[in-house]
Amino acid sequence: MNIKKILPQLLTLLVVILIFGFFSYNAQVNMENRGISFGYGFLSQESSFDVQFSLIEFDGSHSYFRAYLVGLLNTILVSVIGIIFATIIGVVVGIARLSNNYLINKTAAVYVEFFRNIPLLLQIFFWYFAALRALPLPQDTEPMFGVFFLTIKGFFVPAIIWNNLDIFIYSIIAAIISITFVRIYARKKQENEGIQTPVFSISIGLLLILPILTFLFGGVDASVEVPVIKQLSQSGFTYEGGIKLPPELISLALALSLYTATFIAECVRAGVQGVSKGQKEAAASIGLTPNQVLKLVVMPQALRIIIPPTTNQYLNLTKNSSLAAAIAYPDLVLVFAGTALMQTGRAIEIVSITMLTYLSLSISISIFMNWYNKKIAIKEK
């Protein structure tokens, strides 16, 4: 390391620091001139507003910090739901686009071209207001399977009331741990003796049997609470009991997954097409079944092409979830950068916290996906 190499780096760092310093100094002076105070003390103040839908207990007597957590959890919730569904739809559509069947192939192509070329905000409005117009009022709805009620005020599903839920959860954890051991054992056995163990069936069995045992012997007990209709006024009804998924969440998750799935579908198609034909033919020629060809030869190679661009789509979906504010889904932007910002007037503080939060969320997703990508990458020996 000589000074010639370090000096430009140091200079760049210095310039960056100076630019940041200038902006924060400038902001400070301007805020002082306009009589705006600065500080994060407001986070512990009472929020005095309510939120429609929250994963943790929240009302106006809680602090602004808790309101921040409510918004953050709601953002994570809709992102996770969106990512799961976008991946499922994306993989199915991506493979459908490779199908030799003309109808399946073209349907998938039309879906992709249609949904990825319309602005997401419009799609969110469409799904929300179309859903609101199309869904029945609570009193007019036909229950699905007698216990699910899809209405304009939300999707009411039965809640499960647990006794000794913790034992049940431990049993699932135990099942997962034992599955890991079975897999390690199976791999060793295959390497040493060349005998394959039916890992998949054993795993399913463990996942079913252990929790069932807790019901029989562990004192675990679950009952179902079905939503019941409640009259609010001569013409207004709602449902009580059970779990309520607000229409805002459903339409937002729907719009996000349908939109992002088109991009994932293209990633999947590109990935599968990126595996050379010779690989498949070689695999088939050594006697692998078509299933094994896909699972052992094509997919591991395709995934290497699919993962990096799909990571971008996951990041996009998470960031796009901030459009929730348009349709009243209480995400981070609506609750914290919306209501809390306006009630406190602390624009710089709140916007900076919100930006940092999205940054951390995106970086976490990206770190996880990079780790996964590394895991499946070719290991040079």
Partner 1 sequence: MFKYLKQLTSLVAMVAVLFTFTTETMAAKKSKTLKNTQKKGFVRCGVSQGLPGFSNADAAGNWTGVDVDVCRAVAAAVLGDANKVKFTPLSAKERFTALTSNEIDILSRNTTWTLSRDADIGLTFVGVNFYDGQGFMVRKNSGYTSVNDFKNGISACTNLGTTTELNMRDFFNSKGISYEPVTFEKADEVVAAYDAGRCDTYTTDKSGLAAQRIKLSSPDDHIVLPETISKEPLGPVVRQGDSVWEDIVRWSLNVMIEAEEYGVTSANADSMKTSDNPAVKRLVGAEGELGAAFGLDNDWSLRIIKQVGNYGESYKRNIADTGILPDRGPNELWTKGGILYVPPAR
- Chain residues in the site for partner 1 (CB under 8 A): 31, 33-37, 48-52, 59-60, 129, 132-133, 137, 152-153, 230-236, 238, 240, 246-248, 325-328, 330, 334, 338-339, 341-345, 347
362, 316 in Cβ contact below 8 A?
A: no
343 or 366: CB nearest partner 1: 343
Structure tokens at 64: 């602004």
Beta bridge partners of 96: none
Shortest spacing between CB 347 and partner 1, in angstroms: 5
39 or 278: CB nearest partner 1: 39
Shortest spacing between CB 48 and partner 1, in angstroms: 5
Shortest spacing between CB 50 and partner 1, in angstroms: 5
Shortest spacing between CB 325 and partner 1, in angstroms: 5
C-alpha distances out from residue 105 to 1, 58, 298, Å: 57, 48, 20
The residue behind tokens 């036909």 is: 142
105 or 343: CB nearest partner 1: 343
CA–CA distance, 334 with 328 (Å, rounded to integer): 7
Shortest spacing between CB 37 and partner 1, in angstroms: 7
50 or 225: CB nearest partner 1: 50
50 or 167: CB nearest partner 1: 50
52 or 373: CB nearest partner 1: 52
CA–CA distance, 313 with 238 (Å, rounded to integer): 37
Of 95, 102, 40, nearest to 65 by C-alpha is 40
Helix (H) or strand (E) holding 173: helix 165-193
284, 42 in Cβ contact below 8 A?
A: no
227, 242 in Cβ contact below 8 A?
A: yes
Shortest spacing between CB 119 and partner 1, in angstroms: 17
41 or 274: CB nearest partner 1: 41
Shortest spacing between CB 354 and partner 1, in angstroms: 13
DSSP codes, 215-278: HHHS--EEEEE--EEEE-SSS-EEEESSEEE-HHHHHHHHHHHHHHHHHHHHHHHHHHHTS-HH
Shortest spacing between CB 55 and partner 1, in angstroms: 15
Neighbours of 132 (CB within 10 A): 14
289, 119 in Cβ contact below 8 A?
A: no
CA–CA distance, 74 with 245 (Å, rounded to integer): 12
55 or 347: CB nearest partner 1: 347
